[in-house]
Amino acid sequence: MAWRGAMRVVSSTTASTSSFAGVTRRVGVGGAARGGGGGARRRGIHARYPGDEERVTSTDNATVKHFSKLIKSKAHRDASGSVVVAGAGLLEEIYASGGVEDARVVFLGEDAETPRGMRARRVARAPEHVLKKAAGLRSVDRVDVVAEIATPPLDGIEALGSVASTATRVLALDGIQDPGNLGTLTRTALALGWDAVALLPGTCDPFNDKVT
């Protein structure tokens, strides 16, 4: 799902418009939204207690398994109220928008620079194979920061009323079941500066890991 700009995503399927408070950039939060690194400073992230930093070395770790389940299971995302986001660049954009609560958990690579302005309740250092498992990435991909953050707020379909009073271009997606198509259409609407995307009944979960 995207986070950035003023575009809203409205869903009647889940009784929701998603207002992303200035953070939509890249569609793909469901599995792990992916973004590039760059420009972050380590002091920008903090554990709940200063100096706290865990060490995770195994993919059998319970938190790593939790991340993996968040990526694959809508039911688990709904129950947890959270999604996985991978990549320092994307996380930096999310936290730069303001109003985003502390990440629940963040995994950092061995020498990773962390997103500027980000805070987390738990911080864990992990080797590359653990980060890839937590992010749901294939062996050819690389990632240095993976975080669990609260699912972006969703407004009810009635929010279309407020959007309609000012919107000039709204993309209505009815029964789009292919996550890749949903991602492409949402990114295109964002790139063209459209005001909202409405997800009508039968449309797939925007946080599906295949929405890229």
Amino acid at 197: V
Mean pLDDT of 162-185: 84
Around Cβ 137, how many Cβ atoms within 10 Å? Answer: 19
Confidence category of residue 168, pLDDT binned at 50, 70, 90: confident
Share of the chain above pLDDT 70, in %: 69
145-149-153 Cα angle (round to 5): 140
The answer to whether 167 and 96 have CB atoms below 8 angstroms apart is no
Task: Give residue 23's pLDDT.
Answer: 30
More confident residue, 149 or 141: 149
Confidence category of residue 210, pLDDT binned at 50, 70, 90: confident
Which of these ranges, 10-14, 62-66, 73-77, 95-99, has the smallest mean pLDDT?
A: 10-14
Residue 90 has pLDDT above 70, yes or no: yes
pTM surpassing 0.75?
no
DSSP one-letter string for 169-186? -EEEE-S---HHHHHHHH
- What confidence tens digit (pLDDT) does each residue in 14-40 have? 333 343 333 333 333 344 555 544 333
Reduced 3-state DSSP string for 101-130: CCECEEEECCCCCCCCCCCECCEEECCHHH
First to last CA, the chain: 8
- Alpha-carbon distance values, 20 to 9, 15, 67, 125, 159 (Å): 8, 16, 22, 29, 13
Phi/psi for 95 (5° steps) reads -75, -25
Task: Give residue 12's pLDDT.
Answer: 46
Task: Give residue 197's pLDDT.
Answer: 84
